[in-house]
Amino acid sequence: MHRRIHFSVWYLLGVFLLIAIIHGFVNSQNTERIPYSKFKEYLNKGLVKQVYIGVDVIHGEVIGEEGSRKGKPFVVAKVDDPDLVRELEKHKVEYSGQFENPWVKELVSWVLPMLILFAVWIVVFKKVGPGGSIMSFAKTKAKLYSKDETTVTFDDVAGVEEAKEELIELIDFLKNPDKFRNLGGKVPKGFLLIGPPGTGKTLLARAVAGEAKVPFFSMSGSEFVEMFVGVGAARVRDLFHQAQQKAPCIIFIDELDALGKTRGGSSLGGHDEREQTLNQLLVEMDGFDSRKGIIVMAATNRPEILDPALLRPGRFDRQILVDRPDINGREKILQVHARQVKLGKEVDLRVIASRTPGFVGADLANVVNEAALLGARRNKSEVGMPELEEAIDRVVAGLEKKSRIMSKKEREIVAYHESGHALVATFLPHTDPVHKVSIIPRGIAALGYTQYLPGEDRYLMTKSELLDRLCIALGGRVAEEIIFGEVSTGAHDDLQKATQIARRMVKEFGMSERLGLVTFERERKSLFLDNGLGVGKDYSEQTAYEIDLEVKRLIDETYDRVKEILETHRDKLEHLAKVLLEKEVVEGEEFKRIVSL
Ligand code: ADP
Ligand code: MG
Ligand code: ZN
């Protein structure tokens, strides 16, 4: 109620202000107001050209400056002056009574603005609606791609064969809903694409629509959530309503987690609205008949925080994993994106794929794009291996910042630090070979880096491999200590990584003899199967203490091992660091030569 009253008061104020301005404007029009005495003065000097005598004012013109033919208009308030006419005649001024029609002017200056404002009022009112509910807000913001607009097909999505296979059945259904209907089969309603960011979930959903040639409603989870309570729910309702008219079609909710977070989780204000929206989504998903040909797809990279109710049968009961691609997948993705650029004959995408473990589709698209840009900058007619290699480096660690100035001492520290990582990796049995050591600073955090060349993708790691990784992580810091006798802050990241590996070995993988084959971490991935409320510790303080001790012991032991390796090979450490300081980058063959000296 209060809001509306306020609204009217402001509105009225605005109206009056506007009217006053227009009124003043109509009347002024660069007419000079002068006192009667001045008018008389002009008259006696013979400067007045003509006058119109109105009811209570006299309008007139004085002769302008010499040369200008146009007179200067003035207005003067009428005074009781019976001699005026005689004087006008005496000075031969042209005079006339004015057919002033005051109400015409009033009409222009008062009534017209009123009409305009009234029109504006009506337009606004229509939008807002008489009940004060904001009707247009409740309309879904979903972007609708008609069936000819979705040009993405399965050919554009590579390296996710399993996900594609699962979706083929769905496409079949969308193409031919009658077939399924006649058999009375039950088609799943909701498909949830789960995977890390950039693996192509959004792309895959659009490809499904493109393959099935059906309309595609696309909306992001966050777009449902608005300031006003109830708007999100109304939008959900409207979305499903519209979809029903377009069936068969796909509703795609991207970033479902923005909307589908576990209810009752946060007590901060504003979650009410999200809960309402989520509830409405659950209601709609239960309510519609999938045999009509509406399929709801959604994507998330955080399935563990989704409300369990969303994953119950009849809702998003099909979960499709869209994982990071393996080497073959990466090669295929590179091929997809390489279609857009001209590649040199010598380019071997397999090699690029082998150098980019852990990259997702979006990263690989980025690599190809960067390479094309580099090629253009170098005036090349086609993109070659050097461009692709450099593009990888760029994507790996942000843009190269050669211009960043590092002091001589800092460069030395970084060189020894990276050499330490690289040497430890070389002299341990269970590690990947070093591909490249660089002390060119990249991005904000990394001052240098060492890249390894894994032979194959890894899904399992043995204890010895993990221990060796731990060694590599500590290699940088230990090298600094051996050479300079003190450490810098540059090893911060490494220590974090080392601690993380050690903790996981103890807590998750049961690799500590002392604590035994127990895992102390609830597996988060399966959280969405139970109610998933709270991820508290489920072990005692005493155990926590012992875990800490074990982690510390593991790291201390590793430290000794690393120190021994680096002290034994100190000559190589120094040699490698020197070459690095000189060349900034040491790669493959050259590296092998240095360490085998
Ligand atoms: P997500 O939704 O999983 O975060 P996107 O679908 O938005 O990822 O992917 C972003 C971009 O990365 C896509 O537009 C595409 O260019 C590229 N991309 C990602 N995955 C793939 C893939 N599997 N095949 C081809 N290109 C991909
Ligand atoms: Mg996405
Ligand atoms: Zn390091």
Q: Are residues 389 and 459 in the same domain?
A: no
Residue 75 lies in a domain: yes
Instruction: Judge whether residue 524 has pLDDT over 80.
Output: no
Look at 406 and 257; give whichever has higher pLDDT. Answer: 257
Instruction: List C-alpha distances in Å: 28 to 21, 25, 31, 112.
Output: 11, 5, 6, 17
CA of 202 to the centre of ligand 1 (A): 7
Residue nearest to atom 9 of ligand 1 (CA): 200
Look at 510 and 143; give whichever has higher pLDDT. Answer: 510
Amino acid at 323: D
Instruction: Judge whether residue 523 has pLDDT over 90.
Output: no
Residue 362 Cβ contacting ligand 1 at under 6 Å: yes
What percentage of residues in the chain have a pLDDT greater than 90?
15
Residue 160 Cβ contacting ligand 1 at under 6 Å: yes
Q: Quick one: which ligand is closest to 256's CA?
A: 2
Instruction: Judge whether residue 399 has pLDDT over 50.
Output: no
The pLDDT, as a whole number, for residue 83 is 81
Question: Hey, is 185 helix, strand or coil?
Answer: coil
How many C-beta neighbours within 10 Å does residue 85 have? 11
Q: Are residues 456 and 488 in the same domain?
A: yes
CATH number, domain of 164, equals 3.40.50.300
Q: Are residues 472 and 353 in the same domain?
A: no
Look at 552 and 411; give whichever has higher pLDDT. Answer: 552
Residue nearest to atom 14 of ligand 1 (CA): 203
Residue 159 Cβ contacting ligand 1 at under 6 Å: yes
Which of 81, 97, 113 corresponds to the end of one domain? 97
Instruction: Judge whether residue 51 has pLDDT over 60.
Output: yes
Q: Are residues 435 and 558 in the same domain?
A: yes
Q: Are residues 443 and 486 in the same domain?
A: yes
The pLDDT, as a whole number, for residue 16 is 81
Of the ranges 73-82, 130-139, 162-171, 217-226, which is most confident? 162-171
Residue 299 Cβ contacting ligand 1 at under 6 Å: yes
Instruction: Judge whether residue 371 has pLDDT over 80.
Output: yes
Residue 540 lies in a domain: yes
* Structural contact between residues 284 and 507, judged by C-beta atoms closer than 8 angstroms: no
Burial string for 437-468 (b: 16+ CB within 10 Å, else e) reads bbbbbbeeebbbbbbeeeeeeeeeeeeebbbb
Which of 59, 77, 97 corresponds to the end of one domain? 97
* Structural contact between residues 57 and 76, judged by C-beta atoms closer than 8 angstroms: yes
Mean pLDDT of 275-292: 80
CATH number, domain of 343, equals 1.10.8.60
The pLDDT, as a whole number, for residue 508 is 83
User: Domain of 71?
Assistant: 31-97
Within 8 A by CB and 6+ apart from 347, the residues are 383, 384, 385, 388
Q: Given the CA of residue 299, which atom of ligand 1 is nearest to it?
A: 2
Burial string for 47-80 (b: 16+ CB within 10 Å, else e) reads bbeebbbeeeebbbbbbeeeeeeeebebbbeeee
Residue 24 lies in a domain: no
Lowest average pLDDT, out of 116-120, 223-227, 235-239, 582-586, goes to 223-227
CA of 592 to the centre of ligand 3 (A): 20
Q: Are residues 544 and 463 in the same domain?
A: yes
* Structural contact between residues 483 and 473, judged by C-beta atoms closer than 8 angstroms: no
CA of 281 to the centre of ligand 1 (A): 26
Question: Rounded mean pLDDT of the chain?
Answer: 79
Cα–Cα distance measured from residue 151 to residue 381, given in angstroms and rounded to the nearest whole number:
29
Question: Hey, is 447 helix, strand or coil?
Answer: coil
Residue nearest to atom 6 of ligand 1 (CA): 200
Q: Are residues 384 and 367 in the same domain?
A: yes
Residue 355 lies in a domain: yes
CA of 255 to the centre of ligand 2 (A): 7
- Confidence class for position 26, pLDDT limits 50, 70, 90: low
Residue 127 lies in a domain: no
The pLDDT, as a whole number, for residue 476 is 92
Q: Quick one: which ligand is closest to 422's CA?
A: 3
Residue 298 Cβ contacting ligand 1 at under 6 Å: no
The pLDDT, as a whole number, for residue 6 is 53
Residue 118 lies in a domain: no
Cα–Cα distance measured from residue 292 to residue 306, given in angstroms and rounded to the nearest whole number:
27
Q: Quick one: which ligand is closest to 258's CA?
A: 2
The pLDDT, as a whole number, for residue 560 is 94
The pLDDT, as a whole number, for residue 136 is 54
Which of 295, 321, 347 corresponds to the end of one domain? 321
Prior bond of 35 cis (ω within 30°):
no
The pLDDT, as a whole number, for residue 397 is 64
Residue 23 lies in a domain: no
Tokens of 470: 């731990």
Instruction: Judge whether residue 151 has pLDDT over 70.
Output: yes
- Confidence class for position 325, pLDDT limits 50, 70, 90: confident
Q: Are residues 392 and 270 in the same domain?
A: no
Q: Are residues 307 and 334 in the same domain?
A: no
- The domain tally of the chain equals 4
The closest of 216, 163, 213, 211 to 191, measured between CA atoms, is 163
Q: Quick one: which ligand is closest to 194's CA?
A: 1
Ligand 3 being an ion, which residues bring their Cβ within 5 A of it?
A: 476, 494
The pLDDT, as a whole number, for residue 573 is 94
The pLDDT, as a whole number, for residue 443 is 47
The residue whose CB lies within 8 Å of the most ligand 1 atoms, and thus the one to mutate among 155, 194, 203, 336, is 203
Catalytic residue among 226, 284, 418, 481: 418
Cα–Cα distance measured from residue 545 to residue 95, given in angstroms and rounded to the nearest whole number:
109
Q: Are residues 376 and 475 in the same domain?
A: no
CATH number, domain of 471, equals 1.20.58.760
Q: Are residues 314 and 343 in the same domain?
A: no
Cα–Cα distance measured from residue 287 to residue 282, given in angstroms and rounded to the nearest whole number:
8
Residue 197 Cβ contacting ligand 1 at under 6 Å: yes
The phi and psi torsions of 447 (rounded to 5 degrees) equal -90, -20
Mean pLDDT of 492-499: 87
Tens-place pLDDT, residues 66-82: 555 667 788 888 888 87
Mean pLDDT of 10-37: 76
Residue 21 lies in a domain: no
Within 8 A by CB and 6+ apart from 203, the residues are 152, 156, 157, 361
Residue 310 Cβ contacting ligand 1 at under 6 Å: no
- Confidence class for position 453, pLDDT limits 50, 70, 90: confident
Residue nearest to atom 12 of ligand 1 (CA): 362
Residue 157 Cβ contacting ligand 1 at under 6 Å: yes
The pLDDT, as a whole number, for residue 564 is 94
Residue 475 Cβ contacting ligand 1 at under 6 Å: no
Lowest average pLDDT, out of 103-107, 190-194, 278-282, 570-574, goes to 103-107
Mean pLDDT of 410-432: 90
Q: Are residues 582 and 442 in the same domain?
A: yes
Is there a catalytic annotation at residue 418?
yes
Residue nearest to atom 17 of ligand 1 (CA): 362
Hunting for tokens 């009707």 — which residue is that? 135
CATH number, domain of 40, equals 3.30.720.210
